[in-house]
Amino acid sequence: MYKIENFADLLRGRLDEDLEFVSYSAKSLTAPGENYGSVMLSVEIKCKNKKFDKEEIIYAVAKTPPQNEFMQQIFQTKVTFKAEIEFYKTIFPLMQELQKKHGMKPLQYHAKLLGERLNLQNTDVVDSNAVLLLENIAVKGFKCADRMKGFNFETIKLILQDLSNFHATGIALKLQCPDDFNIKVKPFLNLMIFGESAGEENDKFLEDTIKVSKEVIDENHELKKYLPAFLDIIEKKLDQSAKEPFATIVHQDLWVNNLMLKEENGKFIENKFVDFQVTRFISPADDVLFLLLTSIENDILMEKFDYLVEFYYEHFLVTLKKLDVNTEPFSKEAFEQEIKNAYPRQLQHTLTMLFPIFMDKSKAMDMTEFNPETAPPVEASKEQKEKLYSIVKLLAKKGWL
């Protein structure tokens, strides 16, 4: 069993007044290859209901910093762990309060916060005793989809509706509550930007990833003609700055494993976003593109990409109107330009993620054992090749290559 120091202190002020903490047990939640940015634990919290004199169990998930030093460097844990805690403690409540103010049903696309800390000394430094304790939504029927396959048409539409709500609410908060946004939100955005160096080992992984991507495209007779234009995009230093008026709170790492969905009668009916440790202040188009490029079925990517972008935009506009935001600066033409500006950034981002997303699970290494010097060479799986081919075909179809 995993041990979490001073566990009872995490729950102080969080339990219902009738509940009294008794004990807890914790075990690993994720298998090798499923999560690298943190240690995820499944936790059962035993409590006594003093009013009815009976035992109750609270099911939770504890998230702690990765034990592996290389992964701490890659994910810049010292700052990103703090940022994720602030999302649950401060940023989500601010967004919910704003939605209530405009007569909307408050967003519920995240798990409930049960407790948090940065360390045991009550300072501002993240150390190995940092914990984020959330409700375990898996016991309510939420689960991840198959990352090797991606989301189907109806499921991605469900997710895009929530995502458009999230982005639009961020814009409304920025415009209508500038003091709160600048003091309580913005300092916890842009703490980690994909593509920025996190050390020599990470640079080598990026180089290897690009090398493998070149080889995969070059071996395809139909697509190799696009290789020069493709390389021109992925090897270029790109503008990573936020541009108004669209700049908003962006998840930045929204792919299959960072969404959990509730299934009913074989159909997903509700969505929850997870992992808010690398959020950014940039265009909503970045989230939309990364999600579509990495996480939908290949035939849907080819046949329904334009439809899904427009579907997202229409729901984004609806939420802006509900929040009394002037929509004139957010025209369809302006959003289409956001997509064009963002796709080179998200092509680079996507390439670095295709390997971990489509890794053969039987070859996955335990996070605690991962060492870039001894790790097996970056090797494209069958699923990774098929996804990359689909992406290149889409870019060519759009005239972006």
CA–CA dist 62, 30 (Å, integer): 12
Whether the pLDDT of residue 62 is over 70: the answer is yes
Domain boundaries, the chain: 76-110+145-397
The model carries a pTM of 0.93
The proportion of the chain whose per-residue pLDDT surpasses 90, expressed as a percent, equals: 77
The alpha carbon of 331 is separated from its chain's Cα centroid by a whole number of angstroms, namely: 27
Please state whether 324 falls in left (phi above 0), alpha (psi between -120 and 50) or beta: left
**Whose CA is closest to 131, among 73, 30, 60, 197?**
60
pLDDT digits 0-9 by tens, 188-201: 998 877 656 455 55
In Å, how far are 53, 193, 364 from 202, measured between CA atoms?
54, 13, 18
Q: What percent of the chain has pLDDT over 70?
A: 91
Q: C-alpha dihedral over 290, 293, 297, 298, to 10 degrees? A: 180
pLDDT in tens, 75-125: 788 899 999 999 999 999 999 999 999 999 999 999 999 999 999 999 999
Name the band, by pLDDT with cuts 50, 70 and 90, for residue 66. Answer: confident
| pLDDT for residue 199 | 52
Q: Provide the pLDDT for residue 365.
A: 56
Residue range 229-253, pLDDT digits in tens: 999 998 888 888 899 999 999 999 9
pLDDT digits (tens, 9 = 90+) for 324-355: 999 999 999 999 999 999 999 999 999 989 98
- Three-state secondary-structure class, residue 133: strand
Neighbours of 230 (CB within 10 A): 24
* b (16+ CB within 10 A) / e for 291-325: bbbbbbbbebbeebbeebbebbbebbbebbebbeb
Q: Tokens for 308?
A: 């899904």
The tens digit of pLDDT for each residue in 205-228 reads 778 888 999 999 999 999 999 999
The Cβ of residue 57 has, within 10 Å, a number of other Cβ atoms equal to 12
Q: What region, left, alpha or beta, does residue 275 occupy, with left being phi > 0 and alpha being psi -120 to 50 degrees?
A: left
pLDDT score of 375 = 60
**3-class SS of residue 251:** coil
Residue 303, pLDDT above cutoff 70: yes
- Mean pLDDT of all residues belonging to the chain: 91
Rounded CA-CA distance 38/367 in Å is 9
Pull the structure tokens for residue 245: 């008026």
pLDDT tens, position by position, 14-26: 999 999 999 999 9
Residue 176 carries which side chain, given as an amino acid letter? Q
Report the SS3 class of residue 48: strand
Is the pLDDT reported for residue 367 higher than 60? no
